[in-house]
Chain A
Amino acid sequence: MENVLCLNRSTGDTSVACCMGSLRTDDLRVDGRGCEDYRHMEIETEMVSNTDGSAKVTLGHTDVLVGVKAEIGKPRPMVPDEGYLEFFVDCSANATPEFEGRGGDELGMELSNTLYKVFNNRYSVDLKSLSISPGEHCWVLYVDVLLLQCDGNLFDAISVAIKAALFNTKIPKVHISEDEEGGKEIELSDDPYDCMRLNVENVPCIVTLCKVGHRHVVDATLQEKACSVASLIISVTHKGTVTCVRKVGGGSLDPESIFEMTETGKRVGKALHAPLMELLQEEESLGKKRQKVGFLDTTLIVAVSHCP
């Protein structure tokens, strides 16, 4: 993450003082938000027709595109009756010049590894529903994340996009038929609309909290990130259970700050789920009548901005 921050170090010490000064006295940040407010967020699903599910999220100037493809594969030997998810984050050179060539690999690896940890529990996604025949075939969901623009707070945008993409994913229904020799054949149903949807109720959302001075802020811009010594990434489900906590950054935190930040993160994360699900369901219900915005944001169709 450090490479991305170097862009703003040249802004100098005056802006650092400015960021921290207003935070200390009142709940005011440089762009007028409170400490727990998100920037304007736009979500659109079903962007890419070749995928089984896709979503694009724009959070301020951060742009993230997620595509989910379902393929039939062999289940893991330890858990033969479950499917699994594979995450891959690609930091394309479009986002910032630092990502040119192999530059974005480290950041991409860090993001993918965190996503694996976030989904590494039994309740986020019902993996048993992804099984076709135990020990032989299962659905593998390849979740590919593409960073189009980078303006801080990548984790939050990525997690919201993944939730929206998984909601939008349509997995075709398959039937296993046995032929005469005992070999199993997989048949896809003829109806293209006959598909299985995933229950994304328990999919967690990630909240990044940056420690700036004595306070912590949600949804930090690159400028605010440059002023902070450490951040805490916390992934929260709609019930308030925490699936993953990680401290990132080169500084250390007081245990009391960590407890405060966890509490705030849990509160903010929990409050993010309900409007998100409402919005996704609303978008789905529009069906064919929905106007597709695509990649040019000339008209605002679907937007959610979070104010606690």
Chain B
Amino acid sequence: MPTDTKRVRGPEVSQSPSLFLWKSAAKKSTASNDARVDGRQRGQVDVRSVFVRCGLISQAKGSAYIEAGNTKLICCVYGPRETERKDETDMKSGRLITDMRFAPFSCRERGSWIQGSDEKDLSLMLLESLRPGVCLHKYPRSQIEVNVMVLENDGSVLAHAVTCASMALADAGIEMYDLVLGCSIRQEGATYLIDPTFLEENGCNLASGSRENLGSLTVAFLPSLNQISGLQSDGEMGEDTLTGGVRTCIEGCFKLYPVIQQALSKAVRRKAPPSES
């Protein structure tokens, strides 16, 4: 097991005090039925409003920052660079390398700097979601690195990471077929919560009563081409619920599309050299 020898961590048996708060918080959440905690509605395509900005990091070829509610993510793109590994048999197209990390202070419980299996899984999902959107055949023998850092985790991290990464790729000038947008949904019985917060994603395990459909779904979508590039679901759902959930996520992606396009065109105008007149 890899251990962190560079940092002095607290004793192994230390636990976060928030564990002991859990029971009182659960009672409050089961009270409200229709409205969600932040005022959005259940059962409606009500994504959180998003703040996006490109071109923050001067050293990176392209970068983007996204803020949705309290979820904050930053993404940098480096490349195309010469590929380090020469043993790839398929040298006709480039490689996309993704890395998604959580800052230790991003979640409720302090995480570690060493990449856990969750982070590796998310990096892999990010790679699979972005790959269909990037024209890798135009960058033979090169690699493009995408690094996403989650500064604060307040739910639907993967979905926003996909959006942020595709904006950073566009900002870096990497050729793409289309922007890849992500949207996630939490299914609870008959209703769904689109773009769930951290509490909504995890709090329902404590809700009493057997609910038929209880799960989460994340979809990565290319809006102009109408193609799904990434799909991941968890929990248990009937097939119709799953199909309905995918359609809802696609709607959520369409709602985000104009905002992202606007942010990108602003960034391009800022970067462009001033006109002569």
Contact = CB atoms under 8 A, between A and B. Distances in A.
Interface stretch (A11-19, A41-49, A239-247, A288-296): A239-247
B45 to A, nearest CB: 16
Contacts of A117: 232, 234
B226 A121 contact: no
Contacts of A6: 89-90
Contacts of B19: 77-78
A284 interface: no
B90 A255 contact: no
A263 B234 contact: no
Interface string B226-259: 1111111111111100110011001000000000
> A interface, how many residues as a size bin?
35 or more
B48 interface: no
A120 interface: yes
A134 interface: no
A230 B235 CA distance: 23
A266 interface: yes
B128 A113 contact: no
Contacts, number: 106
Given A109-B117, A250-B132, A252-B132, A123 B228 contact: no
A240 B238 contact: yes
Interface residues of B, number: 39
B239 A266 contact: yes
A279 to B, nearest CB: 25
A251 B237 CA distance: 25
Nearest to B231: A247
Interface in A91-110: 109-110
Contacts of B234: 117, 120-121, 243-244
Contact of A243 (B117, B131, B132, B236): B236
B230 A262 contact: no
A240 B228 contact: no
A250 B93 CA distance: 12
B8 interface: no
Nearest to A266: B239
B194 interface: no
Contacts of A251: 131-132
A243 B242 contact: no
B254 to A, nearest CB: 12
A113 B121 CA distance: 7
B55 interface: no
Contact of A113 (B120, B131, B225, B229): B120
Interface of B: 15, 19, 22, 89-90, 117-118, 120-121, 124, 128, 131-133, 205, 214-215, 217, 222, 225-239, 242-243, 246-247, 250
Interface of A: 6, 9, 77-79, 109-110, 112-113, 116-117, 120-123, 230, 232, 237, 240-255, 258-259, 262-263, 266
